[in-house]
Structure 1
Amino acid sequence: MTLSRMSRIRIGSAPDSWGVWFPDDPRQVPWQRFLDEVSESGYEWIELGPYGYLPTDPEVLREETGRRGLRVSAGTVFTGLHRGPAVWDETWAHVSRVAELTRAMGADHLVVIPSFWRDDKTGEVLEDRELTAGQWSQLARGTERLGREIRDRYGLRIVVHPHADTHVDTEENVARFLDATDPDLVALCLDTGHYAYCGGDNVKLIETYGARIGYLHLKQVDPEILAAVRAEELPFGPAVARGVMCEPPSGEPALEPVLAAAQQLGVELFAIVEQDMYPCPPDRPLPIARRTRRYLRGCGA
């Protein structure tokens, strides 16, 4: 795989790869250390992570990222749009803050993650695992509305992230969601690890729904740990703590074919490394990040 064949793929990393899941948590590394180490690892692009982890003052954040040679590719929000118009105002209050900072940092994408059907820490079931037909309709129409508002007000494109323990997870549910939404308003953030975690074939998805792929998250799952997670029906949080998301190239899916398929789409795409590691020792992320960046260069990215 030559560098020229990966010329359309822009590689970055995210706070997630440093064990950051929350705006403030004593088990997480300080944001200054994250910025120092992600730059030291050889990445030029980052995501904002949970809103409030990095400085939310654009001038401060531009100074801190700029002097480390970093740029922002996207912000991230969680939504529960399948619950209908009743949640719109609360959703928009959060989303608009993140979108404003994302735009101020010069990024073009907003990653949208559906809400969990069970608590990712305790495993408490919060709602039914499967959506009704009416809830699917609410999810589709609400996401289209979000895509339109974000585009018109902030000039950003939403990319919806299929995620374990949400309603947009398996091949069947991802296809149903894509088929129900307007391609002009809703694109997909394909997370290779989450899609494999839920049984999906990443390359097949890219080949089938290529026009809908607007963004990539790169991660792998450990197949042996995943088998135990499925057998025990573990929630996603405890599964991560057990190490279900692993360092490339030791897991699945193989990333080189995924990157090659994405390159064949003929469009520029961000491919952001996100190795879920919450919680993790503070000295663990940097060596992994360096090795992962070196591995991806070997893939031509």
Structure 2
Amino acid sequence: MLDKNKVSLGIAPIGWTNDDMPDLGKENTFEQCISEMALAGFKGCEVGSKYPKDAEVLKRALDLRGIQVCNQWFSSFLLTKPYEEVEKEFIAQLEFLKTLGAKVIGASEQSYSTQGKLDQPIFVDKYVMNDDEWVKLTDGLNRLGKVAKEHGMTLTYHHHMGTVVQTEEEIDRFMDMVDPELVYLLFDSGHLSFAGIDPEPILRKYVKRVKHVHLKDIRKAKVEEARKNNWSFLKGVREGVFTVPGDGDVNFAPLFKVLEESGYEGWVVVEAEQDPAKANPFEYAKKARAYIAEKTGL
């Protein structure tokens, strides 16, 4: 069981509307999305492309439904843009999130990322950084982490399929090189599983440095199709590689146990990008909520 006084449960809007493929869920409005989140029993959410850009307008809509923003994706380009340009965008997002009461910002390096390329197989030709790029990335993130700390926020890093930090070796090297007081891990069960990595040992190794958790499930049969047929990441999303916890093949019991034993404090967030026409987001949100309540007591 997880401690309700320490752990909060949220859900990401990507099940309703896909920011990378706007045709998925184009019929679903912002108001429908957050209302269904609340009806399904979630208290927190991340930020999607249909959310109002005015923080006060957004906060008012969320407050009406008892929903709290807990995190927002930040695309960093530390390898391919001047640091000052990245920092300016980062600070703007920090200030937006602070207005909404969030404590965490989730960065992912998007230089050379293949996750958004429709014609790029996700298991082929992923970019691999050289030693100088490793230093440039981790030094840049340490600087951003310091900026976040000065704003009363926490920088977490999202390892992700198709990016420069995807494999177990890359995660280990990353965690070894960043400052543990400035850069934390955003742990994602689905991306590890998609990459063929057992998520439990990773969580057990780094749980004390995890400040945000994505609960994402996978369908192993679809992952194998993706590998066999050279699907892109987004093709995999369309075909149902991901699903909500309890509906796929990830074993969440040991993950919940590690979080419990470590005394984890923070948000755990259901994130499962699918085609809403095939997987009704409200139905799947309720399914995830019931499963997590049963397994964790949240």
CA contact (8 A) 2:214 2:270 kept: yes
Q: 1:99 aligns with which of 90, 94, 103?
A: 94
CA contact (8 A) 1:82 1:137 kept: no
Percent same amino acid among aligned pairs? 25
TM normalised by structure 1 equals: 0.90
**Match of 1:90, as an amino acid?**
E
Q: In the TM superposition, what is the alpha-carbon distance from 1:90 to its structure 2 partner?
A: 2.9
**Match of 1:59, as an amino acid?**
E
**Match of 1:96, as an amino acid?**
I
**Residue correspondence of structure 1 range 271-290 to structure 2 within 5 A:** 271-277=268-274, 279-281=275-277, 284-290=280-286
Instruction: Specify whether residues 146 and 264 from structure 1 end up closer, same or farther in structure 2 by C-alpha distance, changes over 3 A only.
Output: same
**SS across alignment from 1:81:** coil
- Equivalent residue, structure 1, for 2:171: 174
Superposed CA deviations along residues 255-282 of structure 1, whole A, max 9, x for unmatched, are: 22212211211231210000011x4329
Q: Does 1:255 align with 2:252?
A: yes
**Residue correspondence of structure 1 range 1-301 to structure 2 within 5 A:** 2=1, 8-21=6-19, 27-28=25-26, 29-50=28-49, 53-83=50-80, 86-115=81-110, 117-118=113-114, 120-124=116-120, 129-152=127-150, 154-277=151-274, 279-281=275-277, 284-300=280-296, 301=298
Q: In the TM superposition, what is the alpha-carbon distance from 1:203 to its structure 2 partner?
A: 1.4
**SS across alignment from 1:98:** helix
Q: In the TM superposition, what is the alpha-carbon distance from 1:150 to its structure 2 partner?
A: 1.8
Superposed CA deviations along residues 63-86 of structure 1, whole A, max 9, x for unmatched, are: 101111111111221112233xx4
Instruction: Specify whether residues 245 and 283 from structure 1 end up closer, same or farther in structure 2 by C-alpha distance, changes over 3 A only.
Output: closer
**SS across alignment from 2:88:** helix
Superposed CA deviations along residues 59-118 of structure 1, whole A, max 9, x for unmatched, are: 2112101111111111221112233xx432332333222211110011100011221522
CA contact (8 A) 2:244 2:271 kept: no
CA contact (8 A) 2:11 2:44 kept: yes
Q: In the TM superposition, what is the alpha-carbon distance from 1:119 to its structure 2 partner?
A: 5.3
CA contact (8 A) 2:71 2:105 kept: yes
CA contact (8 A) 1:17 1:273 kept: no
Gaps of 5+ in 1: none
**SS across alignment from 1:110:** strand
**SS across alignment from 2:186:** strand
Instruction: Specify whether residues 284 and 8 from structure 1 end up closer, same or farther in structure 2 by C-alpha distance, changes over 3 A only.
Output: same
CA contact (8 A) 1:8 1:269 kept: yes
**Match of 1:280, as an amino acid?**
P
1:137 & 1:3 partners in 2: Cα distance? 37
Q: In the TM superposition, what is the alpha-carbon distance from 1:254 to its structure 2 partner?
A: 1.3
1:232 & 1:93 partners in 2: Cα distance? 41
CA contact (8 A) 2:78 2:140 kept: yes
**Match of 2:139, as an amino acid?**
R
**Match of 1:122, as an amino acid?**
L
**Match of 2:249, as an amino acid?**
E
**Match of 2:14, as an amino acid?**
D
TM normalised by structure 2 equals: 0.91
**Match of 1:185, as an amino acid?**
L
**Match of 1:224, as an amino acid?**
A
Instruction: Specify whether residues 158 and 286 from structure 1 end up closer, same or farther in structure 2 by C-alpha distance, changes over 3 A only.
Output: same
Instruction: Specify whether residues 72 and 119 from structure 1 end up closer, same or farther in structure 2 by C-alpha distance, changes over 3 A only.
Output: closer
CA contact (8 A) 1:9 1:269 kept: yes
Q: In the TM superposition, what is the alpha-carbon distance from 1:191 to its structure 2 partner?
A: 0.8
RMSD: 2.3
Q: In the TM superposition, what is the alpha-carbon distance from 1:27 to its structure 2 partner?
A: 4.0
